[in-house]
Amino acid sequence: MTNISALFDGMRRSIVTRLLFWLLGASLGYALIAQTVSYRQDGFQQTIQLNRTLLDSQLDYLELFLGQIADPASNSRLSKINNHQFFSGHPPFIVAAGLQVRVDTGNRDTFEDQQSYQSRSTFLIREYRDQNSETWADSSAWFPAAARSQYIPLAALYPNQPSSPLNYLAGLDLMSDRFFGAAIRAAISGGEVRQSKPFRYRDGRPGLAFVKATYQDEVTPGTTEERIARANGAAVVFIDMDKLFNIPENNGMQLLIEREGEVSLPATTEDRLQLSSIPALLTGQQQTLQPARHSLPYRISLLQPGFSWDWLMLVATLILLFVIALYHRVFLRPSGATGQNIPFQIVEQANYLERQALQAMDDAVLVISIRRQIIYANPCACTLTNDPVLQGKLLDAVDFGIFHFRNERRVHTLPRLMERKAKAPFPDDSFLVDSHGTACEIEGEFTPLGDSTSNTGHYLITFRHVGPMRQSMSAALKACESQLKKHQDELARIARINTLGEMSSGVAHEINQPLSAIMSYNEACLAMMDDANPDPVLLRISLVSSVKQANRAGQIIRRLRELASRKQPVVAPLQINDALLSALDLTKSELNTRDVIVTTDLAQDLPYILADSIQLEQVIINLIKNAVDAMTDKAAPSEVMRIFAYTERRGRHVRLGIRDNGTGIPENILPHVFDPFYSSKSEGMGLGLTISQSIVESIGGKLAARNLETGGAEFSVTLPAAKGGNADEKEEQ
């Protein structure tokens, strides 16, 4: 009985102690919450009153400052002050200011040359074509401004210093930009101060621009038409919205800029990039900060989160009490009690091993926040980038870069992947340029990391050096390709020599003709010299004709030597008609011997192509010889043999075709005509068309064969026109 009574007494004391402990904790938590709510409400009302008064005075100052900039005399004085005087003489919310002049399309080149001379660097009037960006940060989205009747380029800004957050906007056509264009046009037509759309500076801070138009004779015209016609520029002041208001830090207040009832831009540092969390905070207090003496196209409000913050404190207090009770229940349990402790040691050990694994990895690992700040970099990343202090830097401020080539232009890799927000490998042939300017080939992967609400909060980037082995393999592959190209050129030369051997009788006839003519002219000259009174006119005509025939013989021999030469192919612009006529001239004797009638239809004003003239003539000669051989094998030799050669323009390409009226290509042979060592001739090696196809494909063209419905076959060569060759805009499919 004594033991049972003692047990009940112990249980009663334990229950009473726990109840008292919980009541004390709840009382303290309630008192803390009540005091916090009262303090926050008072602070919120004081902040509202202060910023309403402050906003009116700040806007008054902005209008006065815009008037000074628009005044030519004041603007001239502004251009003479240095950066220190500018910052010390104006409030910190003014980022930069300047008078931007209107440039007509006829004065654009002169204006760009003047600005380039003044800044000692190339100046262009530009436009930004990325409609989804708020920072103008993507270098690949910048383009020279399209032709328009007038521009207002961003050219004169003060202060002018290398670290200015607006230097990268130099040359931006304000009249066509989606953030500034509407404000510029409204200021010109209305003659009043206008505000741009909210935007962000490169470092992520929210900004706004105030605009005031300037007119000729410094007088604002009375009508809209006169104001538009006589406008000669605009005064622009860029401000930092974070510094425009006086809001205490770390108190949870949020500044909202709304337009047409929708949140356009959160301006506080804490929630600037978490737009999805704003609706959940609207249960608290919200009051507008609209100025009393000014009108703005935006509704500016200050938001004080209500129940969300207070309930968070209450839950935190209850969790704290629960943890204390759990500690008493679990960790202060008597040694003989049963149960299992929470394995905190195991969790700590797992976290330690995870950190050690990241530190020991041979792959570079970077974790980047959505604000593009590097929040983690392992040692391998610091080694590859040659930057030992990566952690904490903004991605736009680091000295290394990851690039790939697109359209022969170097493109930043990471900004593109961040815009897509999808897991993806780096593009092929990506390379890293470290802080010392050294480049190395890399491969890697980009992975977005989601938070508890499945929103992208961070980016994981892993990459690795492809290593010396891969580089040596790449060098060996390039060497093999070079050797293969040499063998291919040598094989093509041997094929040309073989073709010359087959054309030997025709070549001999071609050379014999001018030699026979030379002999005839010389014999005539000798006969005239034996006369007592030789006619000098006839003598001169015979000698001139003899010289012409000698030049003709030399030209034939020179062209034959070029066909058989071992020189490297030289790709240069040439007319495809010239190559076709030259090939027909070389094969003329053989065509005449076999009674082949040649008809041509050559298009005029064809664009140039890029090819080696000798190799292209070799391809055409081979196609002509194949056509002659096909017609010689016809069942009816009495039929006249004809070859039709033509050239034509096909969109961005030029086509050459050789047609014959032979038997055509058998259907079982047609798919294999370009295969090596595949020939329908008993004495052929089957390499002529294979070599011709490789020559055409090496210059970006295509060699094709088909049977004609009227009989015979056609071989066509399609080659791309050289750049600047005036090709059609739309290529024929």
Query: Which has more confidence, 53 or 568?
Result: 53
Q: Which residue did the predictor score with more confidence, 618 or 649?
A: 649
For 356, other C-beta atoms within 10 Å of its C-beta total 10
405 has a pLDDT exceeding 80: yes
- When pLDDT is averaged across residues 415-422 and rounded to a whole number, the result is 85
Q: Which of 85-94, 457-466, 700-709 has the highest mean pLDDT?
A: 700-709
**For residue 717, what pLDDT is reported?**
94
- Would you place residue 618 in the very low, low, confident or very high pLDDT band (cuts 50, 70, 90)? confident
> Which amino acid is residue 455, in one-letter code?
N
Q: pLDDT-based confidence at 560, cuts 50/70/90?
A: low
The answer to whether residue 201 scores a pLDDT higher than 60 is yes
Cβ atoms of 582 and 617 closer than 8 Å: yes
d(CA 156, CA 145): 18
Q: Range with the lowest mean pLDDT among 77-91, 368-382, 387-401?
A: 77-91
Backbone angles phi, psi at 660, to 5 degrees: -130, 170
pTM score: 0.39
The better pLDDT of the pair 16, 333 is held by 16
pLDDT at 278: 35
Strand ranges, E, within 421-574 = 424-425, 431-433, 439-450, 456-465, 572-574
pLDDT at 2 over 60: no
Residue 622's pLDDT band, with cuts at 50, 70 and 90, is confident
Residue 252 vs residue 596, higher pLDDT: 596
Axis crossing angle, helix 576-586 with helix 536-564, rounded to the nearest 10: 100
Residue 159 reports pLDDT greater than 90: no
Tens of pLDDT, residues 58-67? 888 888 888 8
What pLDDT shows up at residue 501?
58
**pLDDT the model gives residue 727:** 45
Which residue, among 373, 358, 439, 370, has the nearest Cα to 404 in the 3D structure? 439
For residues 16-43, give the mean pLDDT.
Answer: 64
Encoded tokens for 69: 């900039």
Burial class (CB in 10 A: 0-12, 13-18, 19+), 64: exposed
pLDDT at residue 75, as a whole number? 57
Higher-scoring residue by pLDDT: 319, 632:
632
Q: What is the mean pLDDT of the chain?
A: 75
Higher pLDDT: 308 or 282? It is: 308
**187-207 average pLDDT score:** 87
Residue 620, both tokens: 């055409």
Would you say the C-alpha torsion 247, 250, 252, 256 has a positive or negative sign? positive
Rounded mean pLDDT of 568-586?
A: 85
8 Å CB contact between 657 and 645: yes
Number of other CB atoms surrounding residue 473 within 10 Å? 12
Confidence band, pLDDT 50/70/90 cuts, at residue 34 = low
Is the per-residue pLDDT at 382 higher than 80?
yes
- In this predicted structure, what is the pLDDT of residue 329? 58
Q: Which residue has the higher pLDDT, 585 or 185?
A: 185
Q: What is the pLDDT of residue 331?
A: 46
User: Are 287 and 254 spatial neighbours (Cβ–Cβ below 8 Å)?
Assistant: no
pLDDT score of 26 more than 80: no
The more confident residue out of 504 and 352 is 352
CA angle 731, 732, 733 (to 5 degrees): 110
516 vs 618 pLDDT, higher one:
618
Report whether 330 contacts 342 (CB < 8 A): yes
Residue 706 pLDDT: 92
Comparing 324-338, 365-379, 380-394, 649-663, the range with the smallest average pLDDT is 324-338
- Please tell me the least confidently modeled range out of 104-108, 652-656, 714-718: 104-108
More confident: 312 or 545: 545
Residue 659 to residue 653: CA distance in whole angstroms: 19
Residue 414 has pLDDT above 60, yes or no: yes
What is the pLDDT averaged over residues 307-314?
Answer: 56
Give the chain's end-to-end CA distance (angstroms, integer): 105
Name the strand (E) or helix (H) holding 647: strand 641-650
pLDDT, tens digit, for every residue of 257-307?
Answer: 765 444 444 443 333 323 333 333 334 667 777 676 666 667 777 776 655
Burial class (CB in 10 A: 0-12, 13-18, 19+), 120: exposed
Q: What is the pLDDT of residue 436?
A: 86
**Position with higher pLDDT, 136 vs 687:** 136
Residue 90 pLDDT class (50, 70, 90 cuts): confident
Residues 6+ apart with CB under 8 A from 104: 149, 150
**Between residues 347 and 668, which one has the greater pLDDT?**
668
Q: CA 95 to CA 205: how far, in whole Å?
A: 11
pLDDT interval class at 216 (50, 70, 90): confident
Where residue 14 falls among pLDDT bands split at 50, 70, 90? Answer: low
* pLDDT of 437: 86
Of 25-29, 465-469, 680-684, the range with the highest mean pLDDT is: 465-469
